[in-house]
Amino acid sequence: MTAETQIELAPRVSDEIRKTTCYMCACRCGINVHLKGGKLVYIEGNRDHPVNRGVLCAKGSAGLMQATSPARLRAPLRRVGPRGSGTFEEISWEEALATAVSWLKPLRETAPEKLAFFTGRDQSQSFTGWWAQQFGTPNFAAHGGFCSVNMAAAGIYTLGGSFWEFGAPDWEHARLLLLFGVAEDHDSNPIKLGLARLKERGAKIVGVNPIRSGYNAIADEWVGITPGTDGLFILSLVHELLRAGKIDLEFLARFTNAPVLLDSDPRSPDYGLFLRDDEGRPLVIDRHSGKAAPWDAEGVEPDLRGRLRRAGITHRAAMFDIAERYLDPVYAPEKVAERCGIAPDQIRRVAAELARAAFDAPVVLDRPWTDFRGKEHRTMPGRPVAVHAMRGISAHANGFQTCRALHLLQSLLGAVETPGSFRFKPPYPKPAEAHPRPHFRATPGQPLDGPHLGYPLGPEDLALKDDGSPVRIDKAFTWENPLSPHGLMHMVISNAAAGDPYRIDTLFLYMANMAWNSSMNTRRTMEMLTAQDEDGEYVIPRIIYSDAYSSEMVAYADLILPDTTYLERHDCISLLDRPISEPEAAADAIRWPVIAPDRDVRAFQSVLLDLGARLGLPGMTNADGSATYADYADYIVNHERKPGIGPLTGWRMGPHGLTHGRGGPNAAQLDSYIANGGFHAEHIPPEAAYYKPWNRAYQDWAVAFGLIDKPQPYLIQLWSEPLRRFQLAAEGQGPRQPPEHLRGRIRSTLDPLPVWYAPMSDAFEDPAEYPVHAITQRPMAMYHSWGGQNAWLRQIHGVNPLYLPTFWWERLALSDGDWVRVVSSHGEITVPAAHMAALNKDTVWTWNAIGKRKGAWALDADAPEATKGFLLNHVIHELLPARGDGLRWANADPVTGQAAWFDLRVRLEKSAAPDQSQPVFGPIGSVVGQGPGERP
Amino acid sequence: MTALPDRTERTLGLVIDLDTCVGCHACVVACKGWNDQGYGAPLSDQDPYGAAPQGSFLNRVHSYEVTPATGPAQHVHFPKSCLHCEDAPCVPVCPTGASYKRVEDGIVLVNEDACIGCGLCAWACPYGAREMDLAAGVMKKCTLCVDRIYNDALPEEDREPACVRTCPAKARHFGDLSDPESAVSQLVAERGGIDLMPEQGTRPVNKYLPPRDRDAWGEDSDVLAPFLTPVAEEPQGFLGWLDRALGKL
């Protein structure tokens, strides 16, 4: 018989394609959502979209299963059983909102700081922050403090922009990419597309990571570094390049503050600060005149060897300090290699490759441009060395300075905003000075005096009360972590439970699984959330939580405001906070309801606006008491942060019709976005596309488009004056003084030049007793616990063994199927082990957030995620062990407060196989039941 | 049983670049999504929220570690689906003729109406590339998205397999391997594309591009050394060099 049958070669997959923005992770790719008869049938990448250009990762395609997940919350809930039990009753939205108002209104009228509002993986921070500001509480932040604030803060204080959202490698011209600590996550599709482009062009990739998986698996050279030593490795590269004179002197002189004159007299009260003119402008020595001149004056050619004696005080260019610091033999490869876990030859080889790529074959684009001093350049020369880094170097207590060291390396090579190197994405470049300072003055019944999160320039900007105690519940912007521009969400529950610095009334969380994988010290966090005082009242009296899914956190709230999935709501990915720009274009995007919710749920942002109107918050309430905005879509279109500037830049209303950038609200704006595939991109003219911080054409373009109000050229801050101001205070200068116990630490860690110090925990835990580093990565095919209830993704990553390197595998005489006990100074877990050879000799790792609490996420209590899956969080504490000084020190970066997840040290023991990963937690009641035996 | 065609008019297949595959599973899920609603029965999942979730996939990514004689261990991601072999052993074993290889393009397909779910073809395939769908009771396998590649309801640029369209690392290529001028044939020639398990005599159509040498820079040490020739050992000497270098600018 013949098998050739008639098959349908041209079936119609859908009757409609709706283009919106993905939210399966933080990367915000464009997606084509196919619908047939109104039902979701297929999701693919949008080819026109600037972020993913048609491709889509596993998570994105699996969005179908997210939209039908049985873990979706269905209706507002009020807790009826004890907190943590997961017993709730469904209530109406009217009841839910009235309850929330009854809790929040008295707080606003009497003590707005009693509301702590923290918003997790929020992509609407310019809105949620504005809401919190109108409410008047100083206690607002999103999740950056436990994610990558070190990277963001070091980038902005040093370069005026940071990796990922605000900058990217020049994939088209780079010849060498140095990739640090990217734990298979941000940036998802753009990095993969970029790596493919580098490979296609024959460029080389060096991966610096203790684990050789994912991107590091395809790197041409792997530097299997010991966690927490990246800064030392980088400064050794700096040492070698300085010693060989392989630095870009023109770049350093023109575009960095290496030539800025520093007060170099140790007896001067301004020691280490810039010499400034009467108008406060830092001075350099002009090579033409040999005289002091403002750094930005027309025609000035700053001298890297500038010296000036004025009023009896010697001033020298910062370049002197840079040379003296890093030529020190303590940074020689032989001196650092053992500590870094790599060979001295490999350090030298990477340094030589950097020098070769940067100086042997510079990229020169034939584009004339004019810099901010009026100097005309005929071409755009570039150093084709690109760098990208993420949490791996960020999540350490030395992460801020490590990121600063990386930016120093880039700057010495002339590899910032030059062709082939690292490029900013609008609204960046933007220096720390151009950001707001922190605002924190709460007045009952009034809005806060400005945005919460900002960039302190010195001790005067700290959020301290007159008695020196912290204003904020998370202790952001205090001497313990002065530069904490993302706040410290990971300290909120712990501080609130301890009543330190004060007790709060209502904890309001959005999209943050703090009772599980987003907290260190998970068991204790659950205890804090359920702790009661002597009267039987909860120590944190009220908890409101909004999430789309039945996550572990749900059981620990009193009132649940169920959110929609990302396919059922409006969102805007705005240039006011974290847009989707690329180096060549300013771009923003929307989400819109491509399907209608089939449950009694509401988009969180619309709910916040409703709450705002019920509370009578300014900006959300009309004079007659009615709501200003019907919903979030109405806000997106009609809200103006200042005249002509709204959440979206595309299709605004100008004096002569539609315009982009500055302009008034346009009632049809969202229709235009939808017609354009859900995004808008405004291209930067070619003559403005590089050297952006210093390029007049870019600065003028950014003003015209509304990103900035006036040109704001600046210098890369290799020497950081804000850090020096804190250090000076610690040395006893100035009116605002740190507490005695912090002086030494501030002096050594807030160094104005990049410095490496061992992770703080090394001083509290004996490295010999805990000889193994333990870290996590996020699988590319799953993101946090969100993927956990996804029917397809959980088949790819349903279990997470602890991967051990050969050295420890053999030392413990393990074989397949064995289990290990992982012991830290804080606790222990017993988990399945697996061997991996492509690992740093003393590092173990596992996938993040695969482990689930029984009863959560609509999974069977016997699901592998709940029986074998585990969290490393149980062995990490938010505080370092006590060491007898009467103090408890945070397990965090002393500059930014970033949670030092990756400083974890453990010891390993072979264990008899338990029936489940240990510890085992009892099940929580599920508010959605358990998922069906078949896929919806 | 079905006879394999003597020759096919074209030889469509995939070329998979093991040098750039980062193991992200994008192809796995795009394939699942498309084929769940595409050719034949949906790709079912058993116990999707339970203790032993298990479903049919037409494409999976495996990961292997390779420890060379010198240098650090390496990690290779290896996506695998039906290789649409020229001498496909899965076809002649089919007792009902449900498995067949198309004359016009060489795609190996299963006619699900004729499939009795006996599993002989999966047993015959040395690559483990076929999966029985437990809900439908029929054999599922990669169709090379036969319902996309000729689909005039799709924009022309989308007429390629879903896994190729979605691959973020651009590690998957689709084309006619019988045409020496095709982009895929050129890639295979340039990069030394290889057959998977050639000793099985299946003559697979899909080719794999091997990973380029890793960690091989040590061999460049003579070239690289001059880049680190010191200009100075001490800050004082460095400042002297700086003077001279600045004088030349």
| Calpha distance A354→A161 (Å, rounded) | 22
Q: Report residue A695 as tokens.
A: 């390029």
User: Which residues of chain B are modeled with pLDDT < 50?
Assistant: none
| 3-class SS letters over A281-311 | CEEEEECCCCCEEECCCCCCCECCCCEEEEC
| Cβ within 8 Å, pair A9-B151 | yes
Hey, CA dihedral for A177, A183, A186, A188, is it positive or negative?
positive
Q: How many CB atoms lie within 10 A of CB B37?
A: 18
| Calpha distance A804→A814 (Å, rounded) | 10
Closest to A688 in 3D by CA, of A574, A576, A586? A586
CATH of the domain at B189: 3.30.70.20
Helices H / strands E in chain A, number of each: 25, 36
> Residue B123: inside a domain, yes or no?
yes
Q: What is the pLDDT of residue A2?
A: 45
Closest to A587 in 3D by CA, of A50, A19, A46, A18? A50
Q: Report residue B90 as tokens.
A: 């899965």
At the second CATH level, the architecture of A761-911 is: Beta Barrel (2.40)
Assess contact for B166 and A63: CB atoms under 8 A: no
Locate the chain B residue with the closest alpha carbon to A213: B75
The HSE-up count of residue B25 (CA atoms within 13 Å, CB side) is: 23
| Calpha distance A350→A326 (Å, rounded) | 17
Q: Is B214 in a helix, a strand, or coil?
A: coil
| Calpha distance A304→A208 (Å, rounded) | 32
Assess contact for A644 and A654: CB atoms under 8 A: no
Q: What is the pLDDT of residue A489?
A: 95
Cα A444–Cα A445–Cα A449 angle in degrees, nearest 5 = 75
Q: What is the pLDDT of residue A4?
A: 55
Do residues B139 and B239 both lie within one domain?
A: no
Total domains, chain B: 2
Do residues B29 and B64 both lie within one domain?
A: yes
Residue A186 sits at the chain B interface (C-beta within 8 Å): no
Taking CA atoms, B38 is separated from A25, A318, A530, A650, A791, in Å, by 27, 65, 49, 37, 19
Closest to A751 in 3D by CA, of A722, A723, A717, A725? A723
| Cβ within 8 Å, pair B228-A246 | yes
Across the interface, which of B73, B102, B229 has its CB nearest the CB of A244? Answer: B229
| Calpha distance B70→B141 (Å, rounded) | 39
Do residues B144 and B237 both lie within one domain?
A: no
Do residues B225 and B209 both lie within one domain?
A: no
| Cβ within 8 Å, pair A838-B48 | no
| Calpha distance A377→A718 (Å, rounded) | 24
| Calpha distance A348→A415 (Å, rounded) | 19
Query: What DSSP letter does each residue of A194-216 carry, written as one string?
Result: HHHHHHHTT-EEEEE-SB--HHH
Do residues B111 and B231 both lie within one domain?
A: no
| Calpha distance A66→B36 (Å, rounded) | 15
| Calpha distance A865→A855 (Å, rounded) | 11
| Cβ within 8 Å, pair A13-B37 | yes
Assess contact for A452 and A484: CB atoms under 8 A: no
| Calpha distance A768→A760 (Å, rounded) | 15
> Residue B79: inside a domain, yes or no?
yes
A450: CB partners within 8 A, 6+ apart? A133, A436, A437, A439
Residue A188 sits at the chain B interface (C-beta within 8 Å): yes
The amino acid that residue A144 corresponds to is G
Q: Report residue A927 as tokens.
A: 């508010």
Residue B98 sits at the chain A interface (C-beta within 8 Å): yes
Q: Report residue A377 as tokens.
A: 């350049």
Do residues B189 and B229 both lie within one domain?
A: no
The HSE-up count of residue A356 (CA atoms within 13 Å, CB side) is: 20
| Calpha distance A544→A560 (Å, rounded) | 6
Chain A residues touching residue B37 (CB < 8 angstroms): 13, 36, 41-42
> Residue B7: inside a domain, yes or no?
no
Chain A residues touching residue B235 (CB < 8 angstroms): 320, 323-324, 327
| Calpha distance A446→A135 (Å, rounded) | 7
Closest to A145 in 3D by CA, of A115, A111, A122? A122
Helices H / strands E in chain B, number of each: 7, 11
Q: How many CB atoms lie within 10 A of CB A761?
A: 24
Do residues B210 and B225 both lie within one domain?
A: no
Chain B residues touching residue A852 (CB < 8 angstroms): none
| Cβ within 8 Å, pair B166-A45 | yes
| Calpha distance B232→A448 (Å, rounded) | 55
User: Which residues of chain A are modeled with pLDDT < 50?
Assistant: 1-3
Locate the chain B residue with the closest alpha carbon to A46: B166
Name the phi and psi angles at A792, rounded to 5: -90, -45
Residue A9 sits at the chain B interface (C-beta within 8 Å): yes
Do residues B225 and B202 both lie within one domain?
A: no
pTM, whole model, 2 decimals? Answer: 0.97
Closest to A549 in 3D by CA, of A513, A524, A587? A513
Assess whether the previous peptide bond of A501 is cis (omega < 30° from 0).
yes
| Calpha distance A406→A756 (Å, rounded) | 11
> Residue B98: inside a domain, yes or no?
yes
> In Å, how far is B170's CA from the nearest CA of chain A?
6
> Residue B181: inside a domain, yes or no?
yes
Topology, domain A77-147+436-484+486-562: Rossmann fold (3.40.50)
Domain residue extents for chain A: 77-147+436-484+486-562, 761-911
Do residues B101 and B190 both lie within one domain?
A: yes
> Residue B3: inside a domain, yes or no?
no
Across the interface, which of A10, A55, A838 has its CB nearest the CB of B153? Answer: A10
> Residue B58: inside a domain, yes or no?
yes
Do residues B239 and B123 both lie within one domain?
A: no
Please name the residue that has the structure tokens 């109104």: A38
> In Å, how far is B9's CA from the nearest CA of chain A?
15
The domain containing residue B229 runs over which residues?
221-248
A894: CB partners within 8 A, 6+ apart? A397, A480, A481, A745, A746, A749, A750, A760
Cα B194–Cα B199–Cα B203 angle in degrees, nearest 5 = 60
Locate the chain B residue with the closest alpha carbon to A194: B169
Q: What is the pLDDT of residue A185?
A: 75
Please name the residue that has the structure tokens 């400042």: B239
Name the phi and psi angles at A78, rounded to 5: -120, 135
Chain B residues touching residue A212 (CB < 8 angstroms): 72-75
Assess contact for A762 and A331: CB atoms under 8 A: no
| Cβ within 8 Å, pair A319-B242 | yes
| Cβ within 8 Å, pair B24-A192 | yes
> Residue B195: inside a domain, yes or no?
yes
Across the interface, which of A3, A60, A220 has its CB nearest the CB of B114? Answer: A3
First-to-last C-alpha distance (Å) of chain B: 80
B131: CB partners within 8 A, 6+ apart? B56, B57, B58, B122, B139, B140, B141
Q: What is the pLDDT of residue A3?
A: 44
Do residues B177 and B55 both lie within one domain?
A: yes
ipTM surpassing 0.95: yes
Q: Report residue A884 as tokens.
A: 């007898």
| 3-class SS letters over A894-933 | CCCCCECHHHCEEEEEEECCCCCCECCCCCCCCCCCCCCC
| Cβ within 8 Å, pair B231-A243 | yes
Q: What is the pLDDT of residue B1?
A: 59
Do residues B239 and B125 both lie within one domain?
A: no
Over the range A506-545, which residues count as b (16 or more CB within 10 Å of their CB) and which as e? Answer: bbbbbbbbbbbbbbbbbebbbebbbbeeeeeebbbbbbbb
| Cβ within 8 Å, pair A56-B246 | no
Chain B residues touching residue A189 (CB < 8 angstroms): 168
Chain B residues touching residue A41 (CB < 8 angstroms): 37
pLDDT in tens, B164-193: 999 999 999 999 999 999 999 999 999 999
Assess whether the previous peptide bond of A187 is cis (omega < 30° from 0).
yes
